[in-house]
């Protein structure tokens, strides 16, 4: 009887392993949104890891999360490491390429609760007077990852977080865009006022010079 049970378990295990092995070797999650802000504003919010706290869908899961930043902010080589609770685990992100206002490529490494690595890309493109942002994560499924796909849908699970993050990114970008536009308008108004004052002063000086010249007695002509 025991022998039959062992054989049954081996057969079942082999069948399960075969099913797991047949699962997709690669994964890809992609979501997009349109943001009421310029590509420059969106790029700045994504490329500088210091600003992720304002829109990342995972930051709120652990307010006490320890974060470490390295490298030049917003540029190739910039890093962001985190250590948090069991909801966020620990890991590291590294910018491997950054094309100003158009694309950011990030190497994403999870350390806990399990080790994995994937590629993350943000594509930023003008869309009329708005900006389209596409968030993509792709990578390779090892045996454990393949097994996990039997019980969970990677696209739905991670895609939902992407949607939340992009929504918050859009809100933050719009606020930042509005602030920058207001600052630009204020600066333009101040510069216009300064030019008006300078032009008025120049006109007044010219008028005073003309009046002084008209009031001055004519110089007598010398006789030859």
Residue 12 in any domain: the answer is: no
The domain that holds 140 is classified in CATH as 3.30.530.20
Residue 190 in any domain: the answer is: no
The overall longest dimension of the chain from CA atoms, in Å, is: 145
Distances from the Cα of 52 to the Cαs of 42, 57, 149, 193, 201, in angstroms?
Answer: 12, 9, 28, 38, 49
Residue 4 in any domain: the answer is: no
Q: Which domain holds residue 45?
A: 21-179
Number of folded domains that form the chain: 1
Residue 68 in any domain: the answer is: yes
In this prediction, residue 70 carries a pLDDT of 94
Distances from the Cα of 60 to the Cαs of 47, 138, 164, in angstroms?
Answer: 19, 24, 12
In this prediction, residue 183 carries a pLDDT of 66
Residue 60 in any domain: the answer is: yes
Residue 117 in any domain: the answer is: yes
Residue % of the chain over a pLDDT of 70: 74
Residue 78 in any domain: the answer is: yes
Reduced to 3 states (helix: H, G, I; strand: E, B; else coil), residue 100 is coil
Mean pLDDT of the 115-123 span: 89
Q: State the chain's mean pLDDT as an integer.
A: 78
Residue 221 in any domain: the answer is: no
In this prediction, residue 140 carries a pLDDT of 63
Mean pLDDT of the 46-63 span: 89
Condensed to tens digits (0 to 9), the pLDDT of residues 2-38 reads 455 545 444 444 443 444 445 455 667 899 999 999 9
Mean pLDDT of the 99-123 span: 90
In this prediction, residue 42 carries a pLDDT of 93
Whether 121 and 142 have beta carbons less than 8 Å apart is answered as no
């Amino acid at each position: 009887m025991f022998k039959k049970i062992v054989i049954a378990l081996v057969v079942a295990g082999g069948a399960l392993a075969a099913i797991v092995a047949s699962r997709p070797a690669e994964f890809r999650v992609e979501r997009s949104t349109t943001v009421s802000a310029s590509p420059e504003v969106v790029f700045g919010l994504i490329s500088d890891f210091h600003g992720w706290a304002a829109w990342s869908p995972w930051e709120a899961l652990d307010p006490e999360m320890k974060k470490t930043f390295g490298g030049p902010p917003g540029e190739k080589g910039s890093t962001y490491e985190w250590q948090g609770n069991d909801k966020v685990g620990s890991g590291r992100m590294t910018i491997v390429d950054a094309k100003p206002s158009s694309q950011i490529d990030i190497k994403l490494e999870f350390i806990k609760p399990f080790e994995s690595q994937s590629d993350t890309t943000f594509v930023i493109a003008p869309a009329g007077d708005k900006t389209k942002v596409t968030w993509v994560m792709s990578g390779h499924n090892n045996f454990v990852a393949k097994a996990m796909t039997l019980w969970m849908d990677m696209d739905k699970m991670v895609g939902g977080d992407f949607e939340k993050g992009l929504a918050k990114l859009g809100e933050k970008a719009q606020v930042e865009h509005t602030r920058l536009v207001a600052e630009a308008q204020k600066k333009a108004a101040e510069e216009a006022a300064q030019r008006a004052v300078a032009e008025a002063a120049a006109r007044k000086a010219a008028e005073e010079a003309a009046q002084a010249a008209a009031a001055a007695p004519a110089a007598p002509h010398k006789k030859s």
